[in-house]
Structure 1
């Protein structure tokens, strides 16, 4: 573990390799899981505000689920998350050429909204957990992401480098620069052994 400001960072984000391989995994992280994408309260408010701009990108099933459940629900663990369609994919999941993608991000790509997607989705496979005095930043290894681990290993891309944009969005450029410095120190330490 490495501590940067009030963040405790798992060394796995430097050691493990990762690079999404959508043609292989088919975007199944949007489909499988016990609940929807974790949201902050501010993100739930934002989703309410941008819903009309996102709806044209959504499936009819997704729109029906949002009309019934809203853009955010509390799951069985007490966490705020996006709702699911029939207990399966996130309500914002769309399929393009058989690959699950995000209606929110598609609207963002088209310049319709200025919110890219929930930060939990953007940061994946990092999971951040807020505690009263610090934020824990951990690597989450999920079976369906095996193609991403394989491609990351082949290309030699550490998790944190793959997630550069997301980490900067979440915590700022200075934090990302400190991650780069931490990786250098870890590399020196491992070379000295």
Structure 2
């Protein structure tokens, strides 16, 4: 385990290799799961404020689902989460299913087109890294938890390209914890893990 200040990081975060292969997984993590995407307290307002600017990407059913659930909902296991569609395999209400079957995020599309300044929930951006709050909220636990079947293509692509998971997820890690955290994690990984493999 790696410890940086109050963040406990599983060795798998730096030892595993992963690159999301959207062409094969089709964004299936947006619909496979027991609840919507976890949201932080700060993200609740961002979801609600961004919704009017991205709703034109969504189907009428998705818009109705989001509005009926007040833009987010509370799950007893995961806390605040994005709403999901009850009649479409549990897909996130903010997901866009394209004609080729690939699922994209309406928030990310709005961000890429300059309509909003918030990219998407950090829990989505970080996946397959999942961050859990400590029992009393005074520390974070960071684990590498890809889905066994859905993410198999991501393992294979990461191994083929030899990209450590934490490097693939540099942008969301910096977004959540800052550049200094990422540089520290990278230095630890280089010194104690990556170089060890080359010995």
TM class, shorter-length: over 0.9
Q: How many corresponding residue pairs?
A: 193
Rounded to whole Å, the distance in 1 between the matches of 2:102 and 2:194 is 40
Q: TM-score, normalised by structure 2?
A: 0.92
Unaligned runs of 5+ in 2: none
1:32 aligns with 2:32: yes
CA pair 189-58 structure 1, distance change in 2 beyond 3 A: same
1:146 aligns with 2:148: no
Rounded to whole Å, the distance in 2 between the matches of 1:192 and 1:61 is 53
What pairs with 1:49-128 in structure 2 (closer than 5 Å)? 49-77=49-77, 79-86=79-86, 88-96=90-98, 97-128=100-131
Deviates more, 1:182-191 or 1:78-87: 182-191
Unaligned runs of 5+ in 1: none
- Runs (4+) of structure 1 exceeding 2 A deviation are 187-193
Rounded to whole Å, the distance in 1 between the matches of 2:188 and 2:22 is 30
What pairs with 1:126-137 in structure 2 (closer than 5 Å)? 126-131=129-134, 132-137=137-142
Q: TM-score, normalised by structure 1?
A: 0.95
CA pair 191-53 structure 1, distance change in 2 beyond 3 A: closer
Rounded to whole Å, the distance in 2 between the matches of 1:104 and 1:162 is 21
Q: CA RMSD in A?
A: 1.6
Rounded to whole Å, the distance in 2 between the matches of 1:175 and 1:31 is 31
